[in-house]
Structure 1
Amino acid sequence: MNSKTVLVTCGATIPFPKLISCILSPEFIRSLIDNGFNRLIVQFGRGYGLLFGKQLGLLKPSEEKLSSLTSCQLGSDQVCCFKIDNLEIVGMEYSTRIQELIKDSADLVISHAGTGSILDSLRLHKPLIVVINEDLMDNHQQQIADKFEELGYVWSCKPQTSRLIDCLDKSQRKNTELVPLPNAHNKNFENTLINLANS
């Protein structure tokens, strides 16, 4: 069986508990398995390790075969690993190699709506679902996600399990494709991003 990996990045500094709750929900885990994924890598942000482990410990649907939480390596990163059914879940606080992980491991990326994280995935030509962190004070992530979705570069949603599953299903349909980010430097697009980030 071919390996199929989704990589989730919440950003390095601000935890995104609502996104973690969505991706660790039994419904989303089942949808990942049904869509043929067998590995979920989660970069959950500094200082969120204990809560991430606790949420993993709560993920015990009775119909699933569950293994215990262990410590393991993913390249040079120390990570926690957990297996449910045929899905391996790998969690880490932070990695200096996130671009390398996206490039070498990810078949699909799910990201918070930070501009840097979005561009990391798009420059590497990875399909991307953007989830908006509504708890940030200025709502700039909504504006950024809306613009990227309007241009056809990403699918976006709010941190709700049903909406995330809808985006996951869209990403796996053969007739649904995103527009590739142009390789050439685009000054107008760069100015749009700067204006959105600063507004």
Structure 2
Amino acid sequence: MHAFITIGSTEFDALIAETLSPRTLKALKAKGYETLTVQCGNSTFEKAALVAKGDTATFSLEGLAIELWKFKPSLRDEYEKADLIVSHAGSGTIIEILRLPKPLIVVPNSKLLHNHQEEVAQALDARGHLKSSTIENLAKTITQFDPNTIVPFPTFDGNKFRQLLDEEMGFV
């Protein structure tokens, strides 16, 4: 099985460090994951700092084959081949992954302004669409996560959106 970690375009060293920590790697291995790809964005964490833009680093830790890189034009292929995705809690990333659908654990970046990621993560976790975690509990969340309990995310209904806009604009 394959896991994919993405932090987006910001620095989220804490998530990269925890992802590559022995306890999280052991949790992934115990759940049957054999490979791990990490999109490290602008992270400056020691292993991430070794990867130049456009390059890929490959290595093995705790019995997992790991691939590490900064950016790609699209993450869609990575999402599709992953059996589990761990992501920052950016709304666009969350929606894209939930629409595939793929099992998703989100880790809000508490250093962002007003901690909006935490609100989004908690709301979607409460509805059962994903699992929210903290950095400190990532290994435990991976261990306890059962993708079969995820509630499918509703498909987009353009009519509802149009109706909402019409109501807001006073056309109805």
CA contact (8 A) 1:81 1:89 kept: yes
1:7 correspondence with 2:4: yes
> Does the residue aligned with 2:149 lie in a helix, a strand or coil?
coil
Distance of 1:43 and 1:111 partners within structure 2: 10
CA distance in 1, matches of 2:40, 2:141: 20
Identity level (%): 31
Q: Which runs of 5+ in 1 are unaligned?
A: 57-69, 72-76, 192-199
Q: Which runs of 4+ in 1 moved over 6 A?
A: none
RMSD: 2.4
User: 2:85–2:103: 8 Å Cα contact kept in structure 1?
Assistant: yes
Q: 2:17 touches 2:45 (CA, 8 Å); kept in 1?
A: no
Matching residue's letter, 2:128 = G
CA displacement, residues 148-183 of structure 1 (integer Å, 9 cap, x when unaligned): 1111101001211xx112221232x47x51001112
**138, 141, 156: which one pairs with 1:164?**
138
How far residue 51 of structure 1 moved from its aligned partner, in angstroms, is 2.8
Task: Choose the corresponding residue for 1:139, options 103, 115, 137.
Answer: 115
- In 2, are the aligned partners of 1:37 and 1:87 still within 8 Å (CA)? yes
How far has the Cα of 1:38 moved from its partner?
0.7
Tell me which of 67, 72, 78 is aligned to 1:101.
78
Where in structure 2 are the equivalents of 1:25-174 lying within 5 Å? 25-46=21-42, 48=43, 51-53=46-48, 78-103=55-80, 105-160=81-136, 163-171=137-145, 173=146
CA contact (8 A) 2:79 2:85 kept: yes
Partners of 2:73 and 2:39 in 1: how far apart? 11
Query: Are the equivalent residues in 2 in contact too, given 1:157–1:164 (CA < 8 A)?
Result: yes
Rounded Cα–Cα distance in structure 1 between residues aligned with 2:62 and 2:16: 19
What code does the residue aligned with 2:114 have?
D
Any conservation in 2 of the 1:44–1:52 contact (CA below 8 Å)?
no
Superposed displacement of residue 34, structure 1: 1.3
> What is the distance in 1 between the residues matched to 2:17 and 2:134?
12
Is the CA contact (8 Å cut-off) linking 1:134 and 1:158 kept in structure 2? no
Q: 1:148 to 1:50 in 2, by over 3 A?
A: closer
Count, aligned residues: 160
How far apart are residue 96 of structure 1 and its match?
Answer: 1.3
Query: What secondary structure, in the 3-state scheme, does the structure 1 residue paired with 2:129 have?
Result: coil
Take 2:89 and 2:144, find their aligned partners in 1: how far apart are those partners?
18
SS at match of 1:139: helix
- Residues of 1 paired with 2:127 and 2:143: CA distance? 20
Normalised TM-score (structure 2)? 0.83
